[in-house]
Every structure is written in structure tokens, then in C-alpha cells.
Amino acid sequence: MSSKLVNPLNRRLLQELARERVRDARALLQNGRYAAAHYLCGYAVECALKACIAKATNKHDFPDLEAARAVHTHNLEQLLGSAGLKSALDNARRADNSLDVNWSIVVGWKETNRYRTGISKQQAHELYQAITDRGNGVLKWVKTFW
């Protein structure tokens, strides 16, 4: 079986992946699969930030090598910077304590969490809530830029 992407990785696909991973995380939470749900929550934010980066990419421009390397990461803070959103998030966090708390939870996610066991129900629900909160969720904020 091939590991190639069926569709080219682009902004639209990254947006859909972010939405799908949130739905997957919700289903996993409902079925007590907390470590997997926790991992997919962070992955949803990663995809959303990469959609923002894709939006800022000019179709025919040849990418700068360092910029290209910087976006091939799972580090949410690095992706935020590559998307050019660090200052905007800093300002939004200062203006909104709930978003500040939610980002503080989300930024603790690491791609290596996929190898973790023992994620508690509380930890998984806390991360899910931080990204999906309808008022101040991290995904809601990121979507304003994608």
C-alpha cells in the first residue's frame, strides 16, 4: 500500500484535516480513548496552522529553503511563527484571558504524545475544550486567519 497523499497537500485539504481530526478526537473521547484523542487534538491545531501558512504561500514562488524547513515541523509555536501569527496571538491573549489559558494548554501538546500512554480523561478533555471552545477556542481563533 502506498503512503502517498491522495490529494496534494494544500490549504483546503489542511482545513478539512483540522476539522476531521476534531471530529475524530470527539469520537475517541466518547469511547474512552483518551491518549489517541489527546494526540488528534494537537494534530488538528497543527493542520490549522499549516493551512494559514499555505494561505500565505504564493503559487509560483520558489520557497526559501529555511522557510520550507521551518514549516515541516510539528512544533505548534514554530508553526505559529511561520504563519506570521505570533504577534496577533500575543495581542489576542493579552485581550482575552480565556484564549490565553486555552493557548497555554494547547502549546503544551507535542507530536511525540502519540507514543504516550496514560493520558487521563481530564487531560484529554481539557485539551479538546481548549481547542474547541466556541467563545475562545484556539481553533476558532486560528480559523480567522486560514
What mean pLDDT value characterizes the chain? 92
**Percentage of the chain lying above the pLDDT 90 cut:** 76
Q: Has residue 146 got a pLDDT over 60? A: yes
Give me the pLDDT at residue 126, please.
98
C-alpha cell at 6: 491522495
Rounded (5°) CA angle 133-138-141: 100
Range of lowest pLDDT (27-36, 48-57, 91-100): 48-57
- pTM (predicted TM-score): 0.89
Q: Has residue 59 got a pLDDT over 80? A: no
SS (HEC) of the chain: CCCCCCCCCCHHHHHHHHHHHHHHHHHHHHCCCHHHHHHHHHHHHHHHHHHHHHHCCCCCCCCCHHHHHHHCCCCHHHHHHHCCCHHHHHHHHHHCHHHHHHHHHHCCCCHHHHHCCCCCHHHHHHHHHHHHCCCCCHHHHHHCCC
- Domain residues of the chain, as ranges? 11-143
C-alpha cell at 36: 489517541
Per CATH, the number for 11-143 is: 1.20.120
